A and B are shown apart, each in its own frame.
Chain A
Amino acid sequence: VALLGAKTFQNYIAGEWVEAGTGETFETASPANGETLGVFPRSGAADVDRAVAAAREAFEEWRLVPAPRRGEILFRFGQLLGDEKEDLAQLMAREMGKVLPEARGDVQEAVDMAYYMGGEGRRLFGQTTPSELRDKFNMSVRMPIGVVGAITPWNFPIAIPSWKILPALVCGNTVVFKPATDTPLLGERFVELLAEAGVPAGVVNVVHGTGGEVGTAIVEHPDVPVITLTGSRDTGVAVTKAAADRLKHVHLELGGKNGIIVMDDADLDLAVEGIVWSAFPPRGSAAQPRAGSSPTRRSTTRSSRAS
């Protein structure tokens, strides 16, 4: 994988690769063998400010780009992701540990989302509704909101950014994206490919750094009306509180403890296969299961895996 080798990376703001104002950095290493992967900016509130300003400016044009055109850019992104699937999977195995079949699945999920949301560019259906008065026409339409703050975890480092960023874009919003500090390299590749697909400067911006610094600055920023977070329950509660004063829209996907019930009439081999696949993810995690139940056999497994 060409990107490996302690290369130094930057933030991506208004279509330019830029240093963080803080001058600070953090280094990442592979959980599989300790190999150094890259050096990334440990950004601060001023960097978030720049990114939000860029996203806010870009919003005024992006919201006017016809939705089918926005969708076509997502189709191209899906195509590029598909072309890069093997390289991204190899990188994922190194950066966060997933085995290749699952890493390929992670990328495929983003490909699927790109095509699905690309198609939404020609739908985004609203409603027409009769009026109670003559010679009057009523309709309700979907409007973009503005700058979306997307804060993502390491466990699905390509799929989860796609769930957040691609629908945000097809709807006409712009994005400030903070990838997890454990998977900044994949976050960086994700945005490079978006730019290559034709997403204009400023429409998607990346600010690397910690949740406490960059995440907090995004959540508290007055010009970011929408926050989408996948993370821990504690972080979700903190984000909700911080966003409350400005009545921000907050989407949260937090913890899980997924029970699997096995009844005594179940196909046991199938159940075992399903439980092992769910409980012992070929990386060390999604939200894990507990197994349980059947009058005679009785088992529920509770394991931890997100899906």
Chain B
Amino acid sequence: VTEAERLRLGVGWEEDTDVGPVINKAALDKIHSYTEIGREEGAKLLTGGEVASGDGLGKGFYYRPTVFGDVDPQMRIAQEEIFGPTTAVIRVRDVDEAINVSNGIEYGLSSSIFTRDVNQAFRAMRDLKAGITYINAGTIGAEVHLPFGGTKGTGNGHREAGQAALDFFTEWKSIYVDYSGKLQKAQIDTAE
């Protein structure tokens, strides 16, 4: 919360800006509607939760970085993609519950675990149902030579980037060249 409150909102081209605007009015309205939803669901608004104005911010579409606490995993703010600077903090008992909560959504793009316990890290690598898992890093930072994409509602099994991209943008052709000068029959001539 302290770190979120420290972030400076502003135009993206000023070097001391931490957070820029959201893309348009519709996005701003949608993001704020999720703040209302979170409140109605009984989550605790820890910071943010409002359109930012003042210092010229009123000319653009700015939203205060927003953190909800006491969030239940089934709440809409924990389930639905808000596409804005809103985060839900969910308390869990152990790594099993954490993995279940993380998997308990319709999407499967990125996932992450912060731990110094190698056993827990490998459990997460195996069991998090997502196209990407980061260990001791946030959920951004994909590199172009690894497949990018997600499981479940995030996609349909194909991947961008990496060698996987070549599989999507080409079709395989299998070619058989017979240089024996006679008709050879696969499966038939091979029978003893």
Contacts and interface: CB of A to CB of B under 8 A. Distances in A.
Interface of A: 30-34, 90, 92-94, 96-100, 103, 109, 112-113, 116-117, 120, 124, 126, 131-145, 148, 154-155, 163-164, 167-168, 171-173, 182, 226, 228, 233, 236, 240, 249-263, 265-267, 270-295, 298-307
User: Which of the four size classes fits the interface of chain B?
Assistant: 35 or more
A275 B87 contact: yes
Contacts of B78: 257, 290, 302
B156 A240 contact: yes
B124 A261 contact: yes
A253 B160 contact: yes
A135 B155 contact: no
A254 B87 contact: no
Given A109-B144, A276-B3, A288-B81, A304 B86 contact: yes
Interface string B29-60: 00100000000000000000000000010011
A295 B47 CA distance: 24
B52 to A, nearest CB: 11
B69 to A, nearest CB: 9
A281 B19 CA distance: 6
A116 B165 CA distance: 11
30 contacts: A97-B22, A112-B145, A124-B170, A136-B177, A142-B171, A143-B170, A154-B23, A226-B169, A254-B153, A257-B80, A257-B107, A260-B113, A261-B99, A261-B102, A275-B138, A276-B7, A279-B87, A282-B12, A282-B17, A282-B18, A283-B22, A292-B92, A293-B92, A298-B91, A299-B89, A299-B90, A299-B91, A299-B92, A307-B141, A307-B142
Contact of B98 (A164, A226, A261): A261
Interface of B: 3-4, 7, 11-13, 15, 17-24, 27, 31, 56, 59-61, 63, 65, 67, 71, 73, 78-95, 97-99, 101-103, 105-107, 109-117, 120, 124, 128, 130, 132, 136-145, 148-150, 153-156, 158, 160-161, 165-166, 168-181, 184, 186-187, 189-190
Contacts of A302: 78, 87-88, 90, 105
Sorted nearest first, the 5 A-B pairs with minimum C-beta distance are A293-B98, A284-B22, A256-B109, A93-B12, A259-B102
A255 B107 contact: yes
